[in-house]
Structure 1
Amino acid sequence: MSHGYDEYARALAAAARHATAWLGSLSDRPVGPAVGAHRLTAAFGGPLPRKGMPAEDVVDLLAKTAEPGLMAMPSARFFGWVIGGTLPAALASDWLVSAWDQNACLRYAAPAVAAIEEGAGSWLLELLGLPGQSDVGFVTGATMANFTCMAAARWRLLADAGWDLDSDGLFGAPRIRCLVGRERHDTVDLGLRYLGLGKPAVVDADSQGRLIPEALDAALAGGSGPALVCLQAGNVHSGAFDPFPEAIRVARKHGAWVHVDGAFGLWAAAAPELRHLIRGYENADSWGTDAHKTLNVPYDCGIAIVRDAAALRSAMGLHASYLVHDAEGPGDPFEKVPELSRRARGVTVWAALKSLGSDGVAAQVEGMAAAASEIAAGLAGLDGVEVLNDVGYTQVCVAFGDDATTRAVTARVIRDGRVWMSGSRWRDRDILRVSVSNWRTEGDEAGTAVDAIRSALAAVRGS
């Protein structure tokens, strides 16, 4: 046994012990971290030591020192933001990705991971009911998925307007009008900013945050030139979906490219009981999502899907003499994403889909929505609790009368530690937001969530 292999074996064995202990603690540990970053800075900082430490000792020190500062995000009782857990097959395959140490940019250099990602992409298109000719790229998260899709849109819209973006850049180019719903996620605006497209025009939305098609029609009719319309699958507060058939019909009338931001909501297409929420979305031009949120693969794994493969590859691709291409393949992975060097993110997606099958994905997504409905029903029965959204997917927003009481209840829930839920502000009110995103969240955890909120409310009223 070589010295190098032996060192790997000891370090990986140590990592496995600590990882198994961490996962085993999730069922009953407090969800929140015990200490803040300021308490850990000294332990992880200070002068860089001159002499090193054996790899397994580094792993032991890292795990033991970090443990008090870890949030139990993989817990079935974690309802904060929109953060999923990790499926066993996806987690284990992610360890393999690190061990294989493949740069996933070139099909010729990394044929196995390229083939796996191509298989995962094909399965995704089938599962989500999206056009089979679409290109699929694996990026860091939903933000970069939206960025990548909108970069393809920018390239195509300007090319169709007779402008050579690659040669002439944006200065002097026809202005692309970008239109978004009033309650779009802020990362859509961020992507537009990254792309130099500026601040979007805001279209009015209804009480659940759904874009109003008539308002979109009026906004598009009020101008001319290339247009990009961003729709939403899954409002971050209400969980609502834009009316895709009507909105896309309006956009098509005005010649606009339609992008769908579906960070967590795109997966409704995989669930027969929820597919009605996303009806007509397949007629858009591009779709962005995050496999960590609802499919439950490890960070990081955003997915950019673009119907117009030529536009995506023109926007993202490059040519260099040292890059060796596979003449038999459909093109290289780097042509579909912003990065050249990257890890093989699509492997975990393949493993998750292979372990679940289409029926398993449907059951997982439907289970999350069912847990959200159970939580909403339990909370609606409590005196002084207002459920503010129509709960049809995985989000529940509640308030407790005035803003001060809502903030106090939220703080009590977090301090209690049985569950974790994040506060937010929606429609001019402070709220407590519950996001069901973990594959293991079921009735017991839903009941714990309701009990934790009941206890927090009682404590605030009695204080």
Structure 2
Amino acid sequence: MDTQLNEVLARTAELATGWLGSMEERPVGETASVAELRDRLGGPLPEEPVEAVKVVEELARAAEPGLVAIPSGRYFGFVIGGGLPAAVAADWLTSVWDQCPALYACGPAASVTEEVAGAWLAELLGLPREASFAFVPGCQTAHLTCLAAARHQVLSRVGWDVEELGLAGAPPVRVLVGERRHVSVDRALRFLGVGRASLTVVPSDSRTRMDVTRLRELLGDGPAIVCAQAGEINTGAFDDLDAVAGLTTRAGAWLHVDGAFGLWAAASPRLRHLVGGLERADSWAFDTHKWLNVPYDSGLAYCAHPDAHRAAMSVTADYLVQGGPGRPREPMDWTPAFSRRARGFAVYAALRSLGRQGVADLVERCCAHARAFAEGLADVPGCRVLNDVVLNQVLFRFEDDATTERVLRRVVEGGQAWMSGTAFEGRRAIRLSVSNWQTSDRDIALTLEAFRKAAA
């Protein structure tokens, strides 16, 4: 091995393990302002080469105050998990191996690893065995992939080839979405030519779920796509997927499920009832950089209609080497991207390291921590929990918006924990999400104590 490469990789490993070893002592949030970070990282473009080890050391030193301790057990923001040891190690190998899994010919092992991990995930989450899948950057692109397949299918049924003819002059497609859907659904639909004004919004019931009675009234006839949700971003609530699936099946509509984090309830025998009817949907989108605790970025799109999925995504060209002995799976037939990272290695490693029982334990442990945190908030003066803690989300607020914002700011600036503010029913609130494999009883206790001090 080249001496310089050997040195820089060894030094990088030291810096990485040092960073991970600092989680207990360092503040969870950043300690530098944007101006300070620009000063530390900026400056003129270098005119001459700089030694690789020096580049890495100076980058680590300059960036450190601006790093958020996402791997920490006290990072509770945005439903973001940490990185399982096996997944982090596999992700390092992914960079070193530098495979391009667009085509089997570019990365045979990467392609087969995705094939195996994709089948394991379908089994783990109770998705149809025949479903096709795509490894994508995250749920945003997973929505795009699934909804492109949905658009193809519902228009194909009425005799319109959208890939050939486009949308101009196409029969109208009605898209019904829940009132409390995630914004990434709207964004994916916008990319596909469906603007916000074209959406039919189904109101929520008192439990922040899609109102099934109103969906029945609004569904109607003709090409239609319904977007349901497994895990509302603030409350963790689940739409009644079985009831929604019954309506969409009778109407001949496509049912897409946004399961960014909530779909992982299917991996737990204790929580699987929350996603009853899940297998009746037509497509599913979720992240592995959330509850599977795989390093960013990593998401999955699954489709119960492989022909529609392939028709929406596949492309051919004379120079693309596809197929061959053994009929390898060609990843490019299923994803929107040509060049991309070989995400399957880290997902494969995470599933191997945890096994079926380990995934269930991880999900259930996080939910138990969320319930414990909600119970502990009862002792915090002026605090009110706003949701039934059905999963890993705890939504709460204080007497008024100003107090809520002030308490949150004190906790975050104190460095003991990090979470985000949000808006709920027209008022400010705080959202805590437990998604990290390292979160412990002690982390929950320290965070509760930080809130008691901040409220006082």
TM-score, structure 1 normalization: 0.96
Show CA shifts across 1:333-385 (max 9, x none).
Answer: 01111101111011111000000000000000001101000000100233311
Tell me the residue number matched to 1:461: none
The aligned amino acid for 2:209 is R
Match of 1:128 among 125, 128, 131: 125
Match of 2:353 among 348, 352, 355: 355
Show CA shifts across 1:372-431 (max 9, x none).
Answer: 000001002333110000001000011111111111111111111101111110111210
Tell me the residue number matched to 2:416: 418
Match of 1:335 among 326, 333, 336: 333
Secondary structure (helix, strand or coil) at the match of 2:106 reads coil
In 1, Cα distance between equivalents of 2:147 and 2:41: 39
Structure 1: which 5+ runs fail to align? 459-463
Tell me the residue number matched to 2:382: 384
Q: Which has the higher mean CA deviation after the structures are superposed, 40-49 or 22-31?
A: 40-49
In 2, Cα distance between equivalents of 1:164 and 1:292: 35
Tell me the residue number matched to 2:200: 201
Q: Which has the higher mean CA deviation after the structures are superposed, 254-263 or 378-387?
A: 378-387
Query: 1:98-117 alignment to 2 at 5 Å?
Result: 98-117=95-114
Q: Would the aligned equivalents of 1:156 and 1:311 in 2 still touch at CA under 8 Å?
A: yes
Match of 1:73 among 70, 73, 79: 70
Tell me the residue number matched to 2:10: 13
Show CA shifts across 1:92-112 (max 9, x none).
Answer: 000101100111111133111
Deviation at 1:450, TM superposition (A): 1.0
In 1, Cα distance between equivalents of 2:129 and 2:385: 40
Match of 1:250 among 237, 247, 250: 247
In 2, Cα distance between equivalents of 1:236 and 1:49: 44
In 2, Cα distance between equivalents of 1:245 and 1:276: 10
Tell me the residue number matched to 1:172: 169
Query: 1:220-299 alignment to 2 at 5 Å?
Result: 220-221=219-220, 224-299=221-296
Tell me the residue number matched to 1:453: 451
The aligned amino acid for 2:96 is A
In 2, Cα distance between equivalents of 1:330 and 1:159: 28
In 2, Cα distance between equivalents of 1:339 and 1:36: 35
Tell me the residue number matched to 2:181: 184
In 2, Cα distance between equivalents of 1:382 and 1:273: 29
Tell me the residue number matched to 2:44: 47
Q: Would the aligned equivalents of 1:74 and 1:84 in 2 still touch at CA under 8 Å?
A: yes
When the two chains are superposed, the root-mean-square deviation of aligned CA atoms in Å is 1.0
In 1, Cα distance between equivalents of 2:95 and 2:368: 35
Q: Would the aligned equivalents of 1:90 and 1:352 in 2 still touch at CA under 8 Å?
A: yes
In 2, Cα distance between equivalents of 1:59 and 1:114: 31
Match of 1:58 among 32, 55, 59: 55
Match of 2:397 among 396, 399, 402: 399
Deviation at 1:251, TM superposition (A): 1.3
In 1, Cα distance between equivalents of 2:152 and 2:425: 35
Identity %: 49
The aligned amino acid for 1:143 is Q
TM-score, structure 2 normalization: 0.98
Matched, 1:149 2:146: yes
Q: Would the aligned equivalents of 1:107 and 1:329 in 2 still touch at CA under 8 Å?
A: no
In 1, Cα distance between equivalents of 2:207 and 2:79: 18
Show CA shifts across 1:225-267 (max 9, x none).
Answer: 2100000011000001100111111111211100000111111
Secondary structure (helix, strand or coil) at the match of 2:261 reads coil
Deviation at 1:165, TM superposition (A): 1.1
The aligned amino acid for 2:212 is P
Secondary structure (helix, strand or coil) at the match of 2:256 reads strand
The aligned amino acid for 2:105 is Y
The aligned amino acid for 2:433 is S
Secondary structure (helix, strand or coil) at the match of 2:177 reads strand
The aligned amino acid for 2:48 is K
Secondary structure (helix, strand or coil) at the match of 1:108 reads helix
In 2, Cα distance between equivalents of 1:415 and 1:109: 47
Matched, 1:316 2:316: no
In 1, Cα distance between equivalents of 2:106 and 2:174: 40
The aligned amino acid for 1:388 is L
The aligned amino acid for 1:436 is V
Show CA shifts across 1:102-132 (max 9, x none).
Answer: 1111113311111111000010000001000
The aligned amino acid for 1:218 is E
Q: Would the aligned equivalents of 2:283 and 2:302 in 1 still touch at CA under 8 Å?
A: yes
Matched, 1:36 2:40: no
Q: Would the aligned equivalents of 2:314 and 2:334 in 1 still touch at CA under 8 Å?
A: yes
Secondary structure (helix, strand or coil) at the match of 1:406 reads helix
Tell me the residue number matched to 1:213: 212
Structure 2: which 5+ runs fail to align? none
Deviation at 1:330, TM superposition (A): 5.0
Deviation at 1:331, TM superposition (A): 3.4
